[in-house]
Chains A and B, each alone.
Chain A
Amino acid sequence: MKIAGQTNKRIASPLIRLWRSLWVTLRHAWAKRETVSYPEIKRSLPGRWRGRIVLTRDPDGEERCVACYLCSAVCPVDCIHLQARQQDDGRRYPETFRIDFSRCIFCGFCEEACPTLAIQLTPDFEMCERSHDSLVYEKEQLLIDGQGKHAGYNFYRHAGIAIFGKAIGEGTHDTPPVDHDTNLP
C-alpha cells in the first residue's frame, strides 16, 4: 500500500505541473500585451528617466551653466569636457562643453552635482549612431531653449557676484553694499 501510493504520486505530480504550465501559456495567448511595437509605438517614460543630457537655460533665457567643472569632476567615466570663459558683464559660461555619449553611463551624478540646475538628464534614449564621433555632443547640441525640469531657478539671483542687470547687493538675499569710505553706521 505504502509503495503503491508513492508510485502514484511519482506519476501524478509531473503531470499536474505539465498541465498547469500548459494552462498558463494558453491563458497568456489571449492576455493583454505588455510589449509595444517599438519604434512604431513609443512608451511614455517617467520624467526622472536618466537619458540624453541637456543644458538648460534660466528664466531669463540665459545659459544656466556657469562652467564650475563639478559635473566633469564627479563624472565616473570622464565623459564631460568643458572650458570656462567669462563674459565682460561677469557671467561665466562654458566656451566648450562636450559630452561623449559613447562613454556616458547615464548615472546622473552630473545632474546631482550641478549647483545651478543647468545639466539635466531627459527621458530620451534614442541615440543610436553609426560612428563614435557623432556621439560626441558639442555645446550647440546640448543646449536647449527651456528650463527643463526645474522652472524658475536663476543662480545669479542668489550668488554674490555682480552681472549685467544685477549689481552687488541686488541679489535675493542681499543688503545694499557697505560704503567703505565712511565709518558712520
Chain B
Amino acid sequence: MGTIRIENHEIPFREGDNILKTALAAGMEIPYFCYHTALGSLGACRLCAVEITPKDPGKAPQVVMACLEPARGGIEVSISSAAAQQVRQKVIEFLMTNHPHDCPVCDEGGECHLQEMTVACGPPYRRYRGRKRTFTNQYLGPLVHHEMNRCITCYRCTRFYQDYALGDDLGAMRLRNEVYFGRFQDGPLASPFAGNLVEICPTGVFTDAVFRQHFARVWDLKTAPSICPHCSIGCNTLPGARDGMLRRVRNRFHPDLNRWFICDRGRYGHQYSEHPARPLTSRVDGAKVSYRQALAAAAEQIKAVGDKTGGLGSVREDLEGNTLLRALLNGFNGIFTAFSDPRLEAATITAVTALQNTTGAPSLAEMEQADAALIVGDLTAHAPMIDLALRQAYRSGARLAVLHSGPTPLARFAATALAIPPHEMSVCLSHLSERAAAPSAANSNQKEMLANIVVSLTASHRPLLIGVTETLSASQIAVLAQLAAALGPGARLAYALPGANAYGAALLSQTGRATAMLEAIETGHIQNLIVAGNDPLGDTRLGARWRAARQRLDSLIVLDCVATATAEAADILIPVAAWAERSGTFVNYEGRAQGFTHTFRRPEFLPSTAEVIADLARHLELVLPDIAAALGDTFPGYQAPVPGAPGSPLPAPAIPMHIDTTIHQGCESHPGRWQAALSTWYGDDPLASFAPALTELVPAVAALISPAAALNEGIKAGERVRLQGPAGTVVLPVQPDNDVAAGTIALTRAVLAQLGAGHGDPLELEKVS
C-alpha cells in the first residue's frame, strides 16, 4: 500500500496493481479498450497511454501504457499531458482506419466503447483515404451475431472465451493486421457463457442476435434493477423494455454474485415472456373473460367447496406470491406446499436446513477462492454461474472432483470425475463421509478414487462441497452436509436449488405436504386446487399421477405467465405478470433475499401473483394481512430488500427438522437393470424452455448410455431402443457417452416426463429391430 500521484492527486494503490486499475478505482478516467477487471491487462490496444515523470530528476518523462505499468510510489502520472493525448489520438486514428462506416446499422451504437473513445480522444475526421481491409462473418448460432469488420483486435473475446470461461471453439486466427476472431468453421458457440461476448466486446463485432430481431437503441430502453428468474443463484440483471415488450437482458454488477458476467440462460431465457402462446387474458372453462369475472368464478368455486382447497406455490414464484398464497390457505385450513414432487420437496427442505445449520453457502466470489471442490451432479445445467465460478477456482489450481450420473461439462476440468449410477450415489457419499471421519484402506478402484477425493479435500484449506438438489435425495443431501461437517470449520457447503426462489419456497413448505396434498386430492379431500406458477401436470416423475388426480378435482385454478401443461388444463386461468413486469423478492441459494422491480408494464392488465391472491381474498371476504405484514409474520424482522441493493440474508426461523441420513438400502440398491438419470443442458428450466432462441440450441434427443453398456447390449450408436417407464414408452436413438454411468440411461426432462420416471427411477430398455 502506497500512494501514487495521478493528475496532482495522491491516490492510494495496492501492491501489484497497475496505474490504470489504480486510477479507475479512484474514479479517474483513463481511456482504454483491452483492459478488463476480470481479464486483466494485455497491452493490445495501446490506448491507455499516460505520461509518467520518474522520481529521478535526471530522467526524462516518458509515455507508458497505464495497464502495463505497475503503480509505484513517488512517480507522477499525467493523463492530460500533450504527449499522452497525442499518442491516444493517433492510436484511435489507426484503429479507425479499417473500421467500417457501420454505426447507423450497428447494434452496439449508443453503448459502443469505440464510439465513446473516438469522440473523447480521437480526431474528429478521418484522414485515411485508402481502401479498408474486410473480413467475412461466421454464423455463430442463434444467440450471438458476428460482424468481424468492426474488430479492433483487443483480444477481449478470446481472453474471456478461452482463458476465463475455458471454452475452446472461439479463437484468434491469422496474423499482422489481419487477425480474425472466430470459430474453426461456422456453427453455434458451444460455451454456456457465450452471450457475455456481446458485453465484453468494446465494439460491435459480437452483438445480441435475439435483441437484433426487435432492435431498439439503448437510450430508448426502459430499465430497472432486476434478479434473474432462471436458477437459484440470483444473478443481478438489467432487463430493457420498450413499447410494452421485453427486448433484452444484460448483466448488472453484484460484488459477491455474478459481477461482470451472466450465463446464456439468464441473458436469452427472458424471451419466454414474449412467447406467442403466453396466456394474456383470463379464461374460465376455455372462454375468455375479464379479470374480475375470473376472480368471481374462482371465489365462487372456493366458497362452494369450503375448506376443501389446496394451494400449490412454486419455486419460481416470488416470496410475496408464495407467502400470500400460504396465508390464504391458512385462512381456511387448506394444505400449502411449493413443490409438486415430494422427493424434490424433501430434498430442497433438507438442503435449506443443512445450510441453516452451517455458516451458510458461500457466494460465487468465495467459491472462486476454493482450493478443492466436490461437485455432486451437473452444475452447468442447474446453476451455470457456479460452474463459471468453479472454472475460476480450477484456473487458480483448485482440484475439482465430480460425481455425476450423466454428462456434465465440468468433468473435463476435474482431477477426479466419477460416473456413478443414481442408486449408488448414496453409498458413495456415505463412503466419502465415513472416510473423512475415519480414514481406512481402499479395496477397489472406485474406492481408491473416492479416497483420493477425501485426501484432496482434507488437505485443502478452503474445501467446497456442492450438490445439485434436483438429482439428489434428501438423505444424500444430508450425507453431503455430514461430509462438510467432518471436513472441519473451513469447509463450505452449497446446493444448487431447483428454482429462483427455491430457498424461500422451502422455508414456507413442510416435508410431506406434497404427498399429503396428492393423497387428499385422490381421496376427494381437496376438490379445489390453486396453482401459482407451478406445473404439476408436467412433472417428470409424478406428472401422470397428477393428471389422474386432476380428473378428481372440481376446479383447477392456475395463476401463471407461461402456457404450461397445467395452465392448458386449468378450469380458471388467471394470467399474471412475468418477472420483469412486476416487483417481488427472490431468495437465492445462500438465503440472500434480493428485490426486483418492474421494468415495464404491458398493455394488457397483468397483476402479480400476490395481487391476484389479495383480490381473491377480497372476493372471498377473507381478512388477509397485506404483503408486508404477511412476510413480517412468517419471517420475524423481515425488511423488504431494496431493488438494486446487494440483498440481505432472509431472517428465517430455523426449520425444526430431523435429518434422516440413513440410506434405505432396500429401495435404493436393486433398481433393476437400467436406471434413468436427468441429463439437461444449460438452457433448460421451466421458463427458459419457452424462449425461442434458446430452444434452437436444445441438444438432439437421444438415450445416452455408457459405451461399455452399449457394447454389452450389442447396441450401436444411432440404433433405436424402446424405453419403458411407469407412464409410457418412448423410442429413441442411442448415443454412447463416456460421461454416463454404467446401467444408466441419461434422458432429457421432456423424455422423462413422457416415461413418467424421475432421476434414479428404474426403466426397461429394449432394442427395436
Mutual binders A and B: yes
Report which A residues bind B (CB closer than 8 A): 66-70, 72-73, 83-84, 86, 92, 115-116, 155, 158-162, 168-169, 171, 173-178, 180-183
- Please report the C-alpha to C-alpha distance between residue A69 and residue B131 in the assembled complex, in whole angstroms: 28
A178→B180 contact, CB < 8 A:
yes
B174→A161 contact, CB < 8 A:
no
B134→A83 contact, CB < 8 A:
no
Contact with B213, one of A66, A86, A176 (Cβ below 8 angstroms): A86
Q: Given A84-B215, A159-B100, are A168 and B105 neighbors across the interface (CB < 8 Å)?
A: no
B243→A160 contact, CB < 8 A:
no
Q: Distance in Å from the Cβ of A157 to the closest Cβ of chain B?
A: 10
Query: Which A residues lie within 8 Å of B212 (CB)?
Result: 86
* Nearest B residue to A158, CB-CB: B101
- The 7 A-B residue pairs with the shortest CB-CB distance, nearest first, are A160-B100, A68-B104, A180-B180, A160-B149, A169-B134, A69-B217, A115-B104
* Nearest B residue to A116, CB-CB: B104
Q: Distance in Å from the Cβ of B116 to the closest Cβ of chain A?
A: 15
Query: Which B residues lie within 8 Å of A178 (CB)?
Result: 133-135, 174, 178, 180
B105→A83 contact, CB < 8 A:
no
Q: Given A173-B131, A178-B178, A180-B182, are A73 and B219 neighbors across the interface (CB < 8 Å)?
A: yes
Query: Which A residues lie within 8 Å of B131 (CB)?
Result: 173-175
Q: Distance in Å from the Cβ of B186 to the closest Cβ of chain A?
A: 12
Query: Which A residues lie within 8 Å of B515 (CB)?
Result: none
* Nearest B residue to A169, CB-CB: B134
Contact with B105, one of A161, A176, A180 (Cβ below 8 angstroms): A161
- Please report the C-alpha to C-alpha distance between residue A92 and residue B145 in the assembled complex, in whole angstroms: 15
Q: Distance in Å from the Cβ of A62 to the closest Cβ of chain B?
A: 14
Q: Distance in Å from the Cβ of B386 to the closest Cβ of chain A?
A: 35
B214→A160 contact, CB < 8 A:
no
B134→A159 contact, CB < 8 A:
no
A155→B104 contact, CB < 8 A:
yes
Query: Which B residues lie within 8 Å of A169 (CB)?
Result: 134, 136
Query: Which A residues lie within 8 Å of B102 (CB)?
Result: 159-161
Query: Which B residues lie within 8 Å of A171 (CB)?
Result: 100, 132, 134
B132→A66 contact, CB < 8 A:
no
A73→B217 contact, CB < 8 A:
yes
- Please report the C-alpha to C-alpha distance between residue A70 and residue B102 in the assembled complex, in whole angstroms: 13
B217→A173 contact, CB < 8 A:
no
Kindly supply a per-residue 1/0 record for chain B positions 292-329, scoring 1 wherever the CB is within 8 Å of any chain A CB and 0 otherwise: 00000000000000000000000000000000000000
- Please report the C-alpha to C-alpha distance between residue A175 and residue B134 in the assembled complex, in whole angstroms: 6
Contact with B101, one of A72, A160, A182 (Cβ below 8 angstroms): A160
Contact with B150, one of A67, A72, A84, A160 (Cβ below 8 angstroms): A160
B657 on interface, CB distance cutoff 8 Å: no
Q: Distance in Å from the Cβ of A98 to the closest Cβ of chain B?
A: 11
- Please report the C-alpha to C-alpha distance between residue A92 and residue B104 in the assembled complex, in whole angstroms: 9
- Please report the C-alpha to C-alpha distance between residue A159 and residue B104 in the assembled complex, in whole angstroms: 9
- Please report the C-alpha to C-alpha distance between residue A173 and residue B98 in the assembled complex, in whole angstroms: 10
* Nearest A residue to B212, CB-CB: A86
Looking at chain A's contact residues, is the secondary structure mostly helix, strand, loop, or mixed?
loop
A168→B104 contact, CB < 8 A:
no
- Please report the C-alpha to C-alpha distance between residue A161 and residue B65 in the assembled complex, in whole angstroms: 33
Contact with A68, one of B103, B133, B175, B213 (Cβ below 8 angstroms): B103
- Number of residues on chain B facing chain A (CB within 8 A): 33
Query: Which A residues lie within 8 Å of B217 (CB)?
Result: 68-69, 73
B724 on interface, CB distance cutoff 8 Å: no
A175→B132 contact, CB < 8 A:
yes
Q: Distance in Å from the Cβ of B39 to the closest Cβ of chain A?
A: 23
Known pairs A72-B220, A168-B136, A173-B131; list 4 more (Cβ under 8 Å): A83-B243, A86-B212, A168-B135, A177-B136
- Please report the C-alpha to C-alpha distance between residue A134 and residue B174 in the assembled complex, in whole angstroms: 58
Q: Distance in Å from the Cβ of A179 to the closest Cβ of chain B?
A: 9
Q: Given A68-B104, A68-B105, A178-B174, are A160 and B216 neighbors across the interface (CB < 8 Å)?
A: no
- Please report the C-alpha to C-alpha distance between residue A73 and residue B218 in the assembled complex, in whole angstroms: 11
B53 on interface, CB distance cutoff 8 Å: no
B173 on interface, CB distance cutoff 8 Å: yes
Query: Which A residues lie within 8 Å of B101 (CB)?
Result: 158-160
Query: Which B residues lie within 8 Å of A68 (CB)?
Result: 103-105, 109, 217
B132→A160 contact, CB < 8 A:
yes
Q: Given A160-B132, A174-B131, A175-B133, are A66 and B147 neighbors across the interface (CB < 8 Å)?
A: no
Interface positions of B from 95 to 119, Cβ below 8 Å from A:
100-105, 109
Q: Given A66-B105, A68-B103, are A168 and B149 neighbors across the interface (CB < 8 Å)?
A: yes
Query: Which A residues lie within 8 Å of B100 (CB)?
Result: 159-161, 171
B162 on interface, CB distance cutoff 8 Å: no
- Please report the C-alpha to C-alpha distance between residue A162 and residue B149 in the assembled complex, in whole angstroms: 11
Query: Which A residues lie within 8 Å of B180 (CB)?
Result: 178, 180
Query: Which A residues lie within 8 Å of B648 (CB)?
Result: none
Query: Which B residues lie within 8 Å of A161 (CB)?
Result: 100, 102, 105, 147, 149
Q: Distance in Å from the Cβ of B187 to the closest Cβ of chain A?
A: 15
B216→A84 contact, CB < 8 A:
yes
7 residue pairs of the A-B complex, CB under 8 angstroms, read A69-B216, A73-B217, A159-B100, A160-B132, A160-B150, A175-B133, A178-B133
Q: Distance in Å from the Cβ of B722 to the closest Cβ of chain A?
A: 42
B173→A180 contact, CB < 8 A:
yes
- Please report the C-alpha to C-alpha distance between residue A180 and residue B135 in the assembled complex, in whole angstroms: 8
B583 on interface, CB distance cutoff 8 Å: no
Query: Which A residues lie within 8 Å of B130 (CB)?
Result: 173
B137 on interface, CB distance cutoff 8 Å: yes
Q: Distance in Å from the Cβ of A96 to the closest Cβ of chain B?
A: 10
Interface positions of B from 612 to 644, Cβ below 8 Å from A:
none
Query: Which A residues lie within 8 Å of B132 (CB)?
Result: 160, 171, 173-175
- Please report the C-alpha to C-alpha distance between residue A172 and residue B178 in the assembled complex, in whole angstroms: 20
Interface positions of B from 136 to 181, Cβ below 8 Å from A:
136-137, 147, 149-150, 173-175, 178, 180
- Please report the C-alpha to C-alpha distance between residue A84 and residue B150 in the assembled complex, in whole angstroms: 21
Query: Which A residues lie within 8 Å of B136 (CB)?
Result: 168-169, 177, 180
- Please report the C-alpha to C-alpha distance between residue A173 and residue B213 in the assembled complex, in whole angstroms: 29
* Nearest A residue to B109, CB-CB: A68
Q: Given A83-B243, A180-B180, are A66 and B134 neighbors across the interface (CB < 8 Å)?
A: no
- Please report the C-alpha to C-alpha distance between residue A155 and residue B103 in the assembled complex, in whole angstroms: 11
Query: Which A residues lie within 8 Å of B135 (CB)?
Result: 168, 177-178, 180
- Please report the C-alpha to C-alpha distance between residue A158 and residue B219 in the assembled complex, in whole angstroms: 26
* Nearest B residue to A160, CB-CB: B100
Query: Which B residues lie within 8 Å of A72 (CB)?
Result: 220
* Nearest A residue to B173, CB-CB: A180
